[in-house]
Amino acid sequence: MSEKNSDQVSDQAVVENAADAPEERAPKKRRKAGIMAAVVAVVLVAAGVGMWVWHEDPSFCGTVCHTPMNAYYETYSQEFRTTGVDKYGNEVADTSCMLATYHAAMNYDCMDCHIPVLSQQVSEAVTWVSGNYEFPLAERSVAQLGEAAGLGSDEMCLNESCHNLTRDDLYNLTAEEYGTYNPHWSHHETLDCGTCHKAHRASVMYCSQCHAQAVVPDGWLNMQQANELFDLENATLDAAA
């Protein structure tokens, strides 16, 4: 074979190989794209799971929604049974009298009381992103927390997972401590648990508004002290408005 013919054959082979190359590369590109898509999907799923797990942690409340929630998270994260501050910055003689701090010491977290309902969380997320939220946040009652979760007021606290007691059980357990003026049995009305037990501020002995001799637990406030603080906070908020 002449040198010219040899060159022609080589050139033809190069052309044929070049023509076949795109078809050979296409499956490789598809495989590569598939692998990349799988990696992205895994990363997104892992990120989503991580975000959801973090969402269940109390630190989420104080990090993401820091403007309205910082003060509330701080009451949760304070040292137990020591002098601290409430959500308004007022001194609290004993942090154990705030349910948030007390439950934190018992290894409960925010979501155990603020039961996450998807529709409510979506609404709260939209409100936070838009900035259209009240600040400072208004205090919610136990009844309101229960209603948001589809539970009765008593069910929020008196249940098998939290306090597996009845109203009568509570009265009997605290009869000696409180004596005649036992808030767990009211001759006027059945009191909501949150009437006395406060989560992010010092708890209040409700009976003391009429009965000066009613026992006020250590660190708690009597009604006069609570009302004075309430009036002070309202005046501060009005001045800032």
User: How long is the chain?
Assistant: 241
Residue 231 within a domain: yes
Confidence of residue 114 (pLDDT cuts 50, 70, 90): confident
pLDDT above 90 covers what percent of the chain? 36
Task: Give me the amino acid identity at 75.
Answer: T
Domain that holds residue 86: 56-240
pLDDT of 104 higher than 80: yes
Residue 35 within a domain: no
Q: Say how many domains are in the chain.
A: 1
Residue 21 within a domain: no
pLDDT of 45 higher than 60: no
Q: Which of 112, 103, 121 is nearest to 51 (CA)?
A: 121
Task: Give me the amino acid identity at 176.
Answer: E
Name beta bridge partners: 92: 84
Torsion sign (Cα): 233, 234, 235, 238: positive
Which comes out higher in pLDDT, residue 167 or 134?
167
Residue 10 within a domain: no
Q: Which of 104, 81, 108, 101 is nearest to 93 (CA)?
A: 81
Residue 222 within a domain: yes
Which comes out higher in pLDDT, residue 63 or 101?
101
Residue 235 within a domain: yes
For 120-140, what is the mean pLDDT? 78
Residue 13 within a domain: no
Residue 49 within a domain: no
Whole-number Å distance between alpha carbons of 236 and 241? 9
Q: Is 108 exposed, middle or buried (0-12, 13-18, 19+ CB in 10 A)?
A: middle
